[in-house]
Amino acid sequence: MPSMSYQWVRLVAVTLALTLAGPTQAAGDAERGKLIGYTCLGCHGIENYKNVYPTYNVPKLVGQHAEYIVAALKSYRGKQRSHGTMYAQASSLSDQDMDDVAAYLAGAVLPAGAPATGTAPQKVSELCSACHGANGVGITGDYPTLAGQHADYLARALIEYQKGDRKNPIMGPFASQLSAADVKAIADYYAGQRPALQTVKRKSWL
């Protein structure tokens, strides 16, 4: 019975999430982070800038949870995520640098209470919204906000969890329950949520 196994996987993953998520970090120093973050804007500060091969949009970071940005950077540094450029970027940062640059790049966090836009694919309510919200705003700082993120980047991330190129004990089991059609429908749905994540504004440097 598929609904039983969904419930079961959700229960296991929520338990895992609660076990793995340590105490949330104190906010970093956004002023110091701005100096470190200058080098990041060459990609994250240009609207619709693309990863060259394979071709997909560089993720938006403004409005993201700072705690999640730090966790993502640590995953690139620790090679739980495979991406050459982001490995090089993250390896050059200390833990303090990561806290600070995350505080700068995230800016303000998106509001949690916004109503969802459009009708969610059924699997979103069955499998995803418990952590990412129906409106794509992660319910805690450990769960990434997906609202308004580039659809091709979201799809790429889901496929990487499926293939194991991104290793994550929570997302692996959820991504593995999605067909290619689910991946596309869910990526499009979350990309369409408003208010949306934004690209970092380079103008703030002038």
Q: Which residues bind ligand HEC (CB under 6 A)?
A: 13-14, 17, 39-40, 42-44, 51, 58-59, 61, 69, 71-73, 75, 81, 83, 85-86, 89, 101, 105, 123, 127-128, 130-132, 142-144, 146, 154, 156-158, 166, 168, 170-171, 174, 178, 186
The rounded distance, in Å, linking the Cα atoms of 52 and 130 is 34
Q: Which residues contact 62 (CB under 8 A, 6 or more apart)?
A: 105, 106, 107, 197, 198, 199, 200, 201
The rounded distance, in Å, linking the Cα atoms of 204 and 193 is 26
**Minimum distance from residue 146 beta carbon to ligand HEC (Å):** 6
**Minimum distance from residue 26 beta carbon to ligand HEC (Å):** 18
Single out the residue of 106, 87, 91 nearest to residue 37, CA to CA: 106
Single out the residue of 178, 167, 187, 175 nearest to residue 20, CA to CA: 167
Burial 19-42 (b: 16+ CB within 10 A, else e): eeeeeebeebebebbbebbeebbe
**Minimum distance from residue 57 beta carbon to ligand HEC (Å):** 8
Give the CB-side neighbour count of residue 98, counting CA atoms within 13 A. Answer: 21
Single out the residue of 10, 6, 2 nearest to residue 130, CA to CA: 10
**Minimum distance from residue 49 beta carbon to ligand HEC (Å):** 7
The rounded distance, in Å, linking the Cα atoms of 136 and 114 is 9
Give whichever of 117 and 132 is closer to ligand HEC, judged by the CB atom. Answer: 132
Give whichever of 58 and 62 is closer to ligand HEC, judged by the CB atom. Answer: 58
Give whichever of 55 and 115 is closer to ligand HEC, judged by the CB atom. Answer: 55
**Minimum distance from residue 115 beta carbon to ligand HEC (Å):** 19
The rounded distance, in Å, linking the Cα atoms of 148 and 195 is 7
Give whichever of 28 and 132 is closer to ligand HEC, judged by the CB atom. Answer: 132
**Minimum distance from residue 128 beta carbon to ligand HEC (Å):** 3
Give whichever of 114 and 167 is closer to ligand HEC, judged by the CB atom. Answer: 167
